[in-house]
Copies of this chain bind each other. A is one copy, B any other.
Amino acid sequence: MVPNWIIQRASLTPNRIALRFQDKSWTYQELNEQSLLIAKQLVSLGIMRGDRIALYASSTAELIFMIGGCMHLQCEMVMLNLRLSKTELAYQIEDARVSAILAEDSLVDKLPSSDTRIYAFTDIFASEGKGFSPSSEWNESDTMTIMYTSGTTGFPKGVRQTVGNHLSSATSSLYNTGLLKEEAWLCTVPLFHISGFSMFCKCILHGVELVLYTKFDAKKVADQLVEGSVTRMSVVSVTLARIIEELENRGERASERFQTMLAGGGPVPIDYLERAAELGIEIAQTYGMTETASQTTTLSSEDAMRKIGSAGKPLFFNQISIEGVSKPFEEGEILIRGPHVTPGYIGRFKEKSALQEGWLHSGDIGYLDDEGYLFVVDRRADLIISGGENIYPAEIENALISHPAVREAGVCGVEDEKWGQVPYGFVVTKGNIDEEDLLIYCKEHLAGYKVPKRIFIVKDLPRNGANKLLRRELPKLI
């Protein structure tokens, strides 16, 4: 059992700022009050304690209060991704068998038709609350959230994150990075993704101010970094690149109050790490996934410059091993163990165990070096096998992105009669460059079999809601 997070936090530090959104702020006491009110309103609409509820909304203060209300009600929250098509939404709603959907007013029309009750936020706020007393304690094994894994082939799986998963993720993260007396965390990643949701959990647990944005905006982020009004944030490579460019263009640096950017969702190109360092931005590369309630490893700041490209070491309560491997530097599937790992799935995959002998099989390929640092080589599903040689797209992408005229790069495998598969490249440019120049550049930097057969200059790369590159979508750009 663990104390109800919101009540405990409001009781311990009622007057600390919990949330800033647009030009408003709320203390932890106000967050608790708003959340309790929502819980009462949901009860009056027929939602019961412990119900499984879908949430379909962009990141706003209103969504935070809805989440708080659902927490008080100990509902299982299915966090629906805003980028899903109606077909994809219908699949998740059906698979999760939710008893209701809480939706932002303007998004109600985007939901597929189904028998499931839909409550627009306005209707919830307008309803008269019923008597409801939240439990003062939560069970750590209760499911708090369900998120469908994005980016895989076949049917998405609804991953459960329990109260204990989120809690241990927050604790591990605290053991790793520490906590200053006054912190404010900038959240520009969606709350429907594990990166955003777990940041909210950590803020409640640690009594930190959450500075919430509906969308990533490089200019606003740069403003806050320069003025020192935030201490940490989460990025992926593409958002990091935009922040770096913005600061470089302005000729400004991050304030000394700013501590760390946690960079997840795949390896960060070395070029970015170096430029960020010039701007006073410390990057901690992390490795995590929906199944691990966010980070499982992080490269600590003291190792950042010595182990560039590594995802670091496990957080204190986590363990990592490489399957079937006995020596450092040997590649294999990354296995993960710890209290942050999901107990399993719901719906269609309910019977599928997430663990084999206590270890989560990540599906990702990596190795540990001779000091135990994890290097994530690639996502297994993206592995390109060409003429018997293994090619990892990230390596080619790193090469492309090191070209001064390239802003973003993606690489995937394409069927080839001779070699089985060959790599194809896709780049977003920021200068005058054509395919031929890029191919020459690649030949200079890569072994022959790794040079893309074609390189396409495109306007945008396909990305999911967390801005993670969707390599599987790249062939559609041909």
List the interface of chain A (C-beta within 8 A of B): 2-3, 8-9, 11-13, 136, 171, 174-175, 178-181, 205-207, 300-302, 313-314, 316-317, 319, 372
Q: Which residues of B contact A207 (CB under 8 A)?
A: 175
Decide if B3 touches A313 in the complex (CB within 8 Å).
no
Tell me whether A205 and B316 are in contact in the complex, defined as CB-CB below 8 angstroms, given that A175-B174, A181-B301 are known contacts: yes
CB distance B8 to A316 under 8 Å?
Answer: yes
Q: Are B206 and A175 touching (Cβ within 8 A)?
A: yes
Closest to A207 in B: B175
**5 A-B pairs in the complex with CB atoms less than 8 angstroms apart:** A3-B316, A9-B316, A13-B300, A174-B179, A178-B178
Name A9's closest neighbour in chain B (CB-CB). Answer: B316
The CA-CA distance from A95 to B122 in the complex, in Å, is 66
Q: How far is the CB of A119 from chain B (nearest CB, A)?
A: 32
| Cα–Cα, bound, A170→B184 (Å) | 23
The copy count of this chain in the complex is 2
CA distance in complex: A121, B80 (Å): 62
Q: Quick check: B180 and A313 within 8 Å, CB to CB?
A: no
Tell whether A3 pairs with B300 under 8 Å between CB atoms, given A11-B313, A206-B175, A372-B11. Answer: no
- Closest-CB distance, A260 to chain B (whole angstroms): 10
Tell me which residues across on chain B come within 8 A of A180, comparing CB atoms. Answer: 178, 180
Q: Across chains A and B, which 7 residue pairs bring their CB atoms closest together, nearest first?
A: A178-B179, A12-B313, A171-B171, A11-B372, A174-B174, A179-B179, A178-B180
| Bound Cα distance from A13 to B300, whole angstroms | 9
Contact B174 A3 (CB under 8 A): no
Report the Cα distance A418→B307, complex, angstroms.
78
Residues of B close to A300: CB separation below 8 A: 12-13
Across-interface contacts of A13 in B (CB, < 8 A): 300, 302
A317→B3 contact, CB < 8 A:
yes
Complex Cα gap A314–B2 (Å): 13
Give complex CA distance A344, B300 in Å. Answer: 39
Q: List chain B residues, Cβ under 8 A from A301.
A: 181
Query: Which of B181, B205, B302, B372 is the one whose CB lies under 8 Å from A175?
Result: B205
| Minimum CB–CB distance for A299 against chain B, Å | 11
Please, how many angstroms separate the alpha-carbon atoms of A330 and B319 in the complex? 48
Q: Evaluate whether A2 and B317 lie within 8 angstroms (CB atoms) in the complex, with A13-B300, A179-B179, A301-B181 already known.
A: yes
The residues of B that contact A3 with a CB separation of less than 8 Å are 316-317, 319
Given A11-B372, A180-B180; 7 other pairs, CB 8 A cutoff: A2-B317, A8-B316, A171-B171, A171-B175, A175-B206, A178-B178, A181-B301
Q: How far is the CB of A385 from chain B (nearest CB, A)?
A: 34
State A171–B9 Cα separation when bound (angstroms): 15
List, in ascending order, chain B residues with CB within 8 A of A319's CB: 3, 136
Once bound together, how far apart are the Cα atoms of A92 and B180, in whole Å? Answer: 43
Smallest CB–CB gap between A92 and chain B, Å? Answer: 33
User: CB distance B178 to A181 under 8 Å?
Assistant: yes
Which chain B residue lies CB-closest to A315?
B12
Give Cα distance in the complex from A178 to B173, angstroms: 12
- Separation in Å of the A8 CB from the closest CB of chain B? 6
Query: Which B residue's beta carbon lies closest to that of A206?
Result: B175
Q: What separation, in Å, do the CA atoms of A175 and B8 have in the docked complex?
A: 12
User: Closest residue of chain B to A137, judged by CB?
Assistant: B319
